[in-house]
Amino acid sequence: MMAGHVMTALRLGIETPSEAHIFMHKDCHVCRAEGFAARSRVVVSHGTKSVVATLYHVTSGLVGLNEAGLSEWAWGELGLGIGAKVSVSHAPPLESLSPIRGKVRGNRLDATALRDIINDVQAGRYSSIHLSAFITACAARALDYDEMRDLTRAMIDVGERIEWPSKPIVDKHSIGGLPGNRTTPIVVAIVAACGLTIPKTSSRAITSPAGTADTMETMAPVDLDLATMRRVVDKEGGCIAWGGAMGLSPTDDIMIRVERVLDLDGEGQLVASILSKKVAAGATHLVLDLPVGPTAKVRSYEAAQTLSDSLVEVGRAFGLVAKVIISDGTQPVGRGIGPALEARDVLAVLQGQAMAPSDLRSHALALAGALLELGGAAPEGSGMRLAAETLASGKAWQKFQRICDAQGGMRTPPVAQHHHVVKARTSGLVERIDSRKLSRVAKLAGAPDAKAAGVELHLRLGAPVSRGEPAYTVFAESPGELEYAMSYVALNPDIIGLART
Amino acid sequence: MMAGHVMTALRLGIETPSEAHIFMHKDCHVCRAEGFAARSRVVVSHGTKSVVATLYHVTSGLVGLNEAGLSEWAWGELGLGIGAKVSVSHAPPLESLSPIRGKVRGNRLDATALRDIINDVQAGRYSSIHLSAFITACAARALDYDEMRDLTRAMIDVGERIEWPSKPIVDKHSIGGLPGNRTTPIVVAIVAACGLTIPKTSSRAITSPAGTADTMETMAPVDLDLATMRRVVDKEGGCIAWGGAMGLSPTDDIMIRVERVLDLDGEGQLVASILSKKVAAGATHLVLDLPVGPTAKVRSYEAAQTLSDSLVEVGRAFGLVAKVIISDGTQPVGRGIGPALEARDVLAVLQGQAMAPSDLRSHALALAGALLELGGAAPEGSGMRLAAETLASGKAWQKFQRICDAQGGMRTPPVAQHHHVVKARTSGLVERIDSRKLSRVAKLAGAPDAKAAGVELHLRLGAPVSRGEPAYTVFAESPGELEYAMSYVALNPDIIGLART
């Protein structure tokens, strides 16, 4: 490969997360001489740094004949400034595609192949086309135990890893898809109050109306650096921090973006995704919350059991003791959907309010109980009782306040200025709640960016309801957003399905 | 789904072939209100036309807060003019992904599913991520006969279809990967001279130094519309036209772009790709040229046989009689690589020159012979003799000239002004010729855009060579391009592998 052509870098301000795009004039001498076709993969270098970028031809004056327009991710990775020079050349063949083609034909992926693939993903050498092929191949040709373990290890190895001074380090994870399933702050508070160490990192919403980090942020700062997180955990035994900037299993974040587009992640990928994050975060004991339901990620009990077995078995290879709690995922948990509304549910449970949603409470107690047993804080069979006592005594609530203070100070979740009550149009029994559409209403109302926005649900499955009774309330921070959500509601009268009695 | 938000369309001049991209300011009210995340799929509408586009956030002044920047493909599909208004809304879920997920899990794809998928691909509703998943799933979970047939039918049905007044209509196709394998003009001339009808459409190079259409274009116009093509075929019985603008099996072109990036096409996809184009072009009898070799598309005789069986069997479902000629694909065919250099080989064979490359000649005769037998112009076992006679008598050369005239006038292939002879560095026997690297040299020298550029090979596998003897000559239209190709040659002394004698 000869040295590349030197061009002037141009910052276009186009965001292409985790993937570099380069925009070059179709008539520029480099495109012509190198035969760079549309979507060619090219190496863009600046000093000692380089990225592999997908090429787009430009036919307008957007870039000059000697300019290379770069997307934000490429600009940042290369550390460019205005007028910087970059060199552009053909990308070398992506050797790690070869074992993926082998996997497609039915071969196994060995540890070396998986390491090469994940190294290439981490280096940005995989375009979304390559990522999609890798994800699809691993779903169509299921990964065996060794492949799951080797993939998990490769994903851990390209990222940061947090070490803790003492063990056990307990953790929990929910296998998503269920709105309002905000047990984490409650579980962390209970478990930490019982003396276990639980340094919890959570994510922000990507396509949902709220992630745990978004909800927690309405009660305390979550954007902690590693030093702050260590200080909080050292002092209080637990934290609820945003994990996105900690560099734990970074290729997981890259692959999840493509999995989401396809709505496809094979069991192997899911196992590696979860376990790599947890092992990298230093966990030794993990409880997994696995809701099963028609709109949840896992839709049958059989699939849940298989997944559970793989998680436990692969976890063991990393010294991680895992337990999976399979639960009912047929309707949203709690009442609120949206950061502040979910936080209010969490606070109601922690404060022992009479009106606290009992499903959120019992779900959190089941998870906390399992974690207390797993971490050795309660004998087998008595974890849930200890969890319930810790909650009822107010110790969990005290612990939660102390954690919030340690994270930078407790906050009161904001209350929306605008709301609209949606009423039942007929009388009957609630036979269906469309979680997906309720999430959409919450997002149209502004969640998660508008923290107070979202939906509060007044009904549960199986409950009787009379015509004109409140079904749910939509909250928004501006009249425009409220109107916007309500016009969607008006077009979707089937969000709550009623059976005539 | 509510009506979309109205924005002002902005033409950015970015080319995204067959895929729409939309660039919206991250802070625009639509992105915020709709929660349009990076890479969201959105519907962009203008009047009665709409496309599904992949969204990219912009953080610069590239687009205003009320502007929607559109890629060229989107701009063209929507038929926009300056200042046009478009409306933007969430794309509905891509329902046809569901059977693809089923395929990943091991289910079959039925005719309805394949039709829905191909309709969505044709409508531009599949991003490259979706296309990659479809292609990978079909390669990992091999298509059975019914699936191949239904995919072929779906691909035919979304495109144009040419009907011819009489039958048989014969055709040939080479299953690529071999530089210089330019038999088509010779085969068409022989077969048409023998009275068969062969309306041949060919492609231009995408990643190779020359496609058949590029080579033919140095001898006659190839950019014929359907009416002109019909007139040529009516008059001469054959043509060699560029098929790219005729709309035959258009989703094949879309999928090939992604297959190329992955270097992956399953047998089912390859069968559907070839047969859909040929059936749409009206062929009733087809000879397939299938070279087998380490750098060819098919690398083992076993794989060639399986592929051959599928092609013949699926072809039958469409009334297409197909025959596969499996041949040696271990080295380039002929001497030239590049449009004009390959044309010179073709002309040498047609004109019966003593120096004409014998491998190109015999390969073309084998294919023409098979076609003559298949189309009923020669009894079984005597096709090749008739082909040889037709060539030797000058009838094929006459026919070729008449076809060129009918297509708009015969041309003389251009001769490059600049060349450099690469000499053998040692003496020995030629044991390896790196076709892939030779193609790269030809492209660096300017092929296929510079028609006269390319490589002329002076050696064949197994030939003895003395130190200092010419190995190959590089041709270019400018000194810069020649220098450019030669610096690659200097870095790659292994293009011709010699065994010491």
What angle, rounded to 10 degrees, do the helices at B128-140 and A250-262 form?
90
Q: Greatest CA span in chain A, whole angstroms?
A: 77
CA–CA dist B301, B294 (Å, integer) = 11
Q: Which of A1, A15, A39 comes nearest B257 by C-beta?
A: A39
**In this structure, how many other beta carbons lie within 10 angstroms of the beta carbon of residue B420?**
15
Residue B53 sits in a domain whose CATH number is 2.40.40.20
Domain co-membership, B297 together with B439:
no
Residue B382 reports pLDDT greater than 60: yes
Residue B433 sits in a domain whose CATH number is 3.90.1170.30
The minimum CA-CA distance between A169 and chain B, rounded to whole Å, is 34
Domain assignment present for residue B399? The answer is yes
CA–CA dist B140, A101 (Å, integer) = 9
CA–CA dist B442, B452 (Å, integer) = 10
More confident residue, B196 or B439: B196
Residue A64 reports pLDDT greater than 50: yes
Instruction: Name the band, by pLDDT with cuts 50, 70 and 90, for residue A177.
Output: low
Residue indicated by tokens 């190496």: A43
CA–CA dist B13, A14 (Å, integer) = 14
Contact (CB<8Å) B140/A140: yes
The 3-state DSSP class for residue A426 equals coil
Residue A232 sits in a domain whose CATH number is 3.40.1030.10
What pLDDT shows up at residue B30?
A: 83
Residue B179 reports pLDDT greater than 80: no
Around A92, how many Cα atoms within 13 Å sit in the side-chain half-sphere?
8
Instruction: Name the band, by pLDDT with cuts 50, 70 and 90, for residue A32.
Output: confident
The 3-state DSSP class for residue A317 equals helix
For all residues of chain A together, what is the average pLDDT? 92
Contact (CB<8Å) A262/B133: yes
Phi, psi of A366 (to 5 degrees): -60, -45
Q: Which residues of A touch B15 (CB under 8 A)?
A: 26, 38, 56-59
| Number of domains chain A contains | 4
User: Among the three residues A90, A110, A131, which one is the final residue of a domain in this structure?
Assistant: A90
Q: Which residues contact B164 (CB under 8 A, 6 or more apart)?
A: B197, B199, B233, B282
What pLDDT shows up at residue A1?
A: 38
Q: Which residues of B touch A444 (CB under 8 A)?
A: 33-35
Q: Which of A72, A137, A207 comes nearest B136 by C-beta?
A: A137
Alpha carbon A387 to its chain's center: 27
What pLDDT shows up at residue A329?
A: 84
Domain co-membership, A433 together with A484:
yes
Q: Where are the alpha helices (DSSP H) in B266-357?
A: 267-280, 301-317, 339-350
Q: Which residues of B touch A127 (CB under 8 A)?
A: 261
Instruction: Name the band, by pLDDT with cuts 50, 70 and 90, for residue B1.
Output: very low
Domain co-membership, A336 together with A215:
yes
**Residue of A14, A96, A270 to mutate when probing chain B, most B C-beta within 10 A:** A14
How far from each other are the two terminal CA atoms of chain B, in whole angstroms? Answer: 75
Contact (CB<8Å) A136/B140: yes
Instruction: Name the band, by pLDDT with cuts 50, 70 and 90, for residue B63.
Output: very high
**In this structure, how many other beta carbons lie within 10 angstroms of the beta carbon of residue B112?**
12
Contact (CB<8Å) B104/A266: yes
Q: Which residues of B touch A434 (CB under 8 A)?
A: none
Q: Which helix (H) or strand (E) holds A51?
A: strand A49-58
Contact (CB<8Å) A137/B133: no
Contact (CB<8Å) A480/B39: no
CA–CA dist B381, A76 (Å, integer) = 67
| Cβ-contact A222, A245 below 8 angstroms | no
**Residue of B2, B14, B214 to mutate when probing chain A, most A C-beta within 10 A:** B14
**For the residues B53-78, what does the mean pLDDT come to?**
95
Contact (CB<8Å) A2/B491: yes
CA–CA dist A106, A140 (Å, integer) = 10
Domain assignment present for residue B67? The answer is yes
Bridge partners of B473?
B421, B456
CA–CA dist A321, A298 (Å, integer) = 22
What pLDDT shows up at residue A276?
A: 96
Contact (CB<8Å) A15/B58: yes
Residue B180 reports pLDDT greater than 80: no
The 3-state DSSP class for residue A406 equals helix
Catalytic residue numbers of B, as ranges: 265
Domain co-membership, A367 together with A426:
no
**In this structure, how many other beta carbons lie within 10 angstroms of the beta carbon of residue B47?**
12
**Residue of A129, A143, A298 to mutate when probing chain B, most B C-beta within 10 A:** A129
Q: Which residues of B touch A143 (CB under 8 A)?
A: none
Phi, psi of A360 (to 5 degrees): -65, -45
Q: Which helix (H) or strand (E) holds B327?
A: strand B321-328
Domain co-membership, A426 together with A456:
yes
Q: Which of A116, A265, A289, A359 is catalytic?
A: A265
Contact (CB<8Å) B37/A62: no
What pLDDT shows up at residue B115?
A: 98
Q: Which of A39, A57, A262 comes nearest B129 by C-beta?
A: A262
CA–CA dist B126, B54 (Å, integer) = 10
Domain co-membership, A438 together with A343:
no
Q: Which residues contact B436 (CB under 8 A, 6 or more apart)?
A: B295
Residue indicated by tokens 């696995």: A290
Q: Which of A15, A57, A257 comes nearest B26 by C-beta?
A: A15
| Cβ-contact B465, B424 below 8 angstroms | yes
β-pairing verdict for B67-70 and B20-25: antiparallel
Residues A195-246: pLDDT tens digits?
999 999 998 887 788 999 999 999 999 999 999 999 999 999 999 999 888 8
Alpha carbon A450 to its chain's center: 19
Domain co-membership, B199 together with B339:
yes
Contact (CB<8Å) B13/A61: yes
Residue indicated by tokens 């065919």: B333
What pLDDT shows up at residue B11?
A: 97
Q: Tell me the pTM.
A: 0.90
Domain co-membership, B296 together with B213:
yes
User: Among the three residues A129, A157, A185, which one is the final residue of a domain in this structure?
Assistant: A157
**Residue of B104, B207, B297, B486 to mutate when probing chain A, most A C-beta within 10 A:** B104
Residue indicated by tokens 């109050």: A193
Domain assignment present for residue B19? The answer is yes
**For the residues A321-337, what does the mean pLDDT come to?**
90
CA–CA dist B320, B329 (Å, integer) = 26
For B83, the token pair is 């200042």
Contact (CB<8Å) A14/B57: yes
What pLDDT shows up at residue A179?
A: 74
CA–CA dist B181, B184 (Å, integer) = 9
Q: Which of A14, A261, A487 comes nearest B56 by C-beta?
A: A14
Domain co-membership, A198 together with A316:
yes
CA–CA dist B31, B473 (Å, integer) = 57
> Which domain range does residue A488 map to?
418-499
Domain co-membership, B438 together with B394:
no
Q: Which residue of A has its CA nearest to B139?
A: A104
Contact (CB<8Å) B130/A57: no
The minimum CA-CA distance between B493 and chain A, rounded to whole Å, is 13
Is A223 an annotated catalytic residue?
no
Q: Which helix (H) or strand (E) holds B28?
A: none
What pLDDT shows up at residue B3?
A: 60
The minimum CA-CA distance between A215 and chain B, rounded to whole Å, is 17
Residue B43 reports pLDDT greater than 50: yes
Q: Which of A62, A128, A488 comes nearest B13 by C-beta?
A: A62
Contact (CB<8Å) B60/A15: no
Q: Which residues of A touch B23 (CB under 8 A)?
A: 14
* E strand spans, A260-397: 285-292, 321-328, 336-337
CA–CA dist A76, A80 (Å, integer) = 7
Contact (CB<8Å) A133/B131: no
Domain assignment present for residue B117? The answer is no
Domain assignment present for residue A412? The answer is no
What single-letter amino acid sits at A183? Answer: T
Q: Which of A17, A258, A262 comes nearest B38 by C-beta?
A: A17
Q: Which residues of A touch B264 (CB under 8 A)?
A: 101, 104, 133
User: Among the three residues B345, B378, B406, which one is the final residue of a domain in this structure?
Assistant: B406
Residues B398-429: pLDDT tens digits?
999 999 999 999 999 999 999 999 999 999 99
Q: Which helix (H) or strand (E) holds B226?
A: helix B226-236
Closest by Cα among A127, A449, A65, A70 to B62: A70
Domain co-membership, A174 together with A286:
yes
Q: Which residues of B touch A11 (CB under 8 A)?
A: 60
Domain assignment present for residue B104? The answer is no
| Cβ-contact A233, A197 below 8 angstroms | yes
Q: Which of A56, A136, A449 comes nearest B32 by C-beta?
A: A449
**Residue of B39, B63, B267, B441 to mutate when probing chain A, most A C-beta within 10 A:** B39
Contact (CB<8Å) B258/A491: no
Residue indicated by tokens 């592998």: B497
Sign of the CA dihedral with B90 first, then B91, B92, and B97 last: negative
The minimum CA-CA distance between B62 and chain A, rounded to whole Å, is 7
Residues B240-280: pLDDT tens digits?
999 888 899 999 989 988 888 888 878 999 999 999 999 99
Domain co-membership, B196 together with B59:
no
Q: Where are the alpha helices (DSSP H) in B23-93?
A: 29-34, 72-78
Domain assignment present for residue A328? The answer is yes
What ipTM was assigned to the predicted interfaces of this complex?
0.89
Q: Which residues contact B339 (CB under 8 A, 6 or more apart)?
A: B209, B210, B214, B215, B217, B218, B413, B447, B448, B451, B452, B454
Residues A338-394: pLDDT tens digits?
999 999 999 999 999 999 999 999 999 999 999 999 999 999 999 999 999 999 999
Q: Which residues of B touch A253 (CB under 8 A)?
A: none
Alpha carbon A15 to its chain's center: 20
**For the residues B384-397, what does the mean pLDDT come to?**
98
Contact (CB<8Å) B129/A132: yes
Q: Which residues of B touch A263 (CB under 8 A)?
A: 97, 101
Domain assignment present for residue B111? The answer is no
Q: Which of A35, A61, A132 comes nearest B133 by C-beta?
A: A132
